Structure 1
């Protein structure tokens, strides 16, 4: 914004004033400028806020000092939100960093302040303050495939805005470990066979689903995993050979 002041002599006085003009106003405007040959002085500022700008003429040896004011209206600037996700695509349980950066839309300028609210598939719902660069980030391990939305709250100087980004979360790899107790055993003995499923990094979390156990001796049973990712069966028909546990 350009603010100008022109000083003129009041009749019956005449002549072109010299000296300085001091501009003060809301938002921190406080600047003293020398009058040009036409008795005018101007300042430019990007920090102006709604209120009253005051201009004070210093006076010179021929003209007395004087003051004038003007009311100014400074509306909130538009803002824009850009969203990044790293990594994208990811796998289930992987640590993912979601960031949003808010920028002013011209002719507005400056770095927005306030908060960003992130929402997304898998239960993401978190509000984070913007840092000094106008960016906010969250990390999550529960993300699912879908669309992440970042909503900027706005402030006295910037309007609220929204950004979004589609993300892909693929299934993570898993591994199955099998235990047999007792092993070795004897014919007809009660044997407990367990299988535990774990996520392979960078995936994490506890798998759900079922394990199907098969082996010589007729073992063929499907069992759901418990809360720890483990499933067990007992059998008295086991024979020497290989037990296979297939995670669904």
Structure 2
């Protein structure tokens, strides 16, 4: 809205007379004229190939209300291409697509008609139409070849194409023979005439032992044709088996019969984390087989150890990358419960007893003091005593 204001002179007469304001001229003009509109025109893709659709998008700039209305006319020189109403679902916008532009350079003009609130406006863009797609070549590279089982390998694909007037864009898909590995976008780096167009896949560490035929397929883009790479033979070798160390420790040693004891196993190597399983033996008796966790550790809790001394060992099974190993033995001593009671041959109460040693059969030998004197006996794995007569000391 444009406003025009005329100055109004005020004339003051003598004080003896009433103040009179003589308005020589007073006129306030409020004239409304359309505002000039900001107007832009975009085209994509540019350049394009003959027969490829090209879209021209015109935008009338505005803020708030009112919303611009009217038409946009697209022309090339004096030739009318299309007249389009501004899109009510996308206020201020008008689009026009065509695939009939001939080979060469085209100057396209969009002209906005204006309305009661917005003045007319126009803008032009240049569109280049090529006769055919620009050919490309795709070459696959490996960051590590040969590699070992479990090692990370990063595959990349270089798109070889001229960078003038635009750089190739698009997606590269990677395959292991017919197995999909992943996709990566083409990224251009460099300056001047030294440009590199590269698509790089995230590292892969799951390739099995053997030879893998890796190849890549470039999707192409506006003026660049797609292309497929030759096959790269990625050789994955068996990993060198690393030595390991298996450690076994007890959470409570000595312990009392019936108490819970946790046996902790840790398998370590110079690098990496071993996988697989560990077994725990009590002398030659298998107690349990456990799977290692993600840190190469395992734990076993039990309260069923009998009274006596238990020679415990833990053995790691090994895997494709880590060698098997066995822990040093741990002597777990399990003492009888303090509240155990015994009876001698005469069913007398035992006043005191002491553990003497464990014999070759694993039986705990004890000395007892009863009402009728001292004698020797044995204590079984559940805290029951049995007196025995002995000639001499144990």
State yes or no: 1:35 paired with 2:186. yes
Q: Distance in 1 between matches of 2:363 and 2:337?
A: 8
Q: Distance in 1 between matches of 2:343 and 2:184?
A: 85
Cα distance per residue 1:84-121 (max 9 Å; x no partner): 53424323645322122445753x4xx6542112235x
Q: Give the equivalent residue in structure 1 for 2:286.
A: 125
Task: Report the alpha carbon displacement of residue 166 of structure 1 after superposing the two structures with TM.
Answer: 5.5
Task: Report the alpha carbon displacement of residue 223 of structure 1 after superposing the two structures with TM.
Answer: 4.8
Choose the corresponding residue for 2:208, options 44, 49, 61: 49
SS in 1 for 2:319: coil
Matches within 5 A, 1:87-166: 87-91=251-255, 93=257, 94-102=259-267, 105-106=270-271, 108=272, 112-120=274-282, 122-123=283-284, 125-130=286-291, 132-133=293-294, 134-140=296-302, 141=305, 144=309, 148-156=312-320, 158-162=321-325, 164-165=327-328
Change (3 A) 1:117 1:198: farther
Q: Give the equivalent residue in structure 1 for 2:330.
A: 167
Question: Higher RCO, 1 or 2 (CA under 8 Å, sep at least 6)?
Answer: 1
Change (3 A) 1:208 1:196: farther
Residues 149 and 162 in structure 1, CA contact (< 8 A), matched pair in contact too: no
Q: Give the equivalent residue in structure 2 for 1:238.
A: none
Residues 29 and 48 in structure 1, CA contact (< 8 A), matched pair in contact too: no
Q: Distance in 1 between matches of 2:288 and 2:344?
A: 48
Q: Distance in 2 between matches of 1:74 and 1:29?
A: 21
Q: Give the equivalent residue in structure 1 for 2:218.
A: 58
Choose the corresponding residue for 1:15, options 139, 162, 179: 162
TM-score scaled by length of structure 2: 0.40
Task: Report the alpha carbon displacement of residue 128 of structure 1 after superposing the two structures with TM.
Answer: 1.8
Question: Which ranges of structure 2 fall in alignment gaps of 5 or more residues?
Answer: 1-151, 189-195, 355-361
Q: Give the equivalent residue in structure 2 for 1:2.
A: 153
SS in 1 for 2:348: strand
Q: Distance in 2 between matches of 1:23 and 1:210?
A: 75
Q: Distance in 1 between matches of 2:313 and 2:252?
A: 15
Q: Give the equivalent residue in structure 2 for 1:193.
A: 348
Q: Give the equivalent residue in structure 1 for 2:29.
A: none
The CA RMSD over aligned residues, in Å, is: 4.4
Cα distance per residue 1:205-233 (max 9 Å; x no partner): x9742555565xxx446353475423389
SS in 2 for 1:209: strand
SS in 2 for 1:144: strand
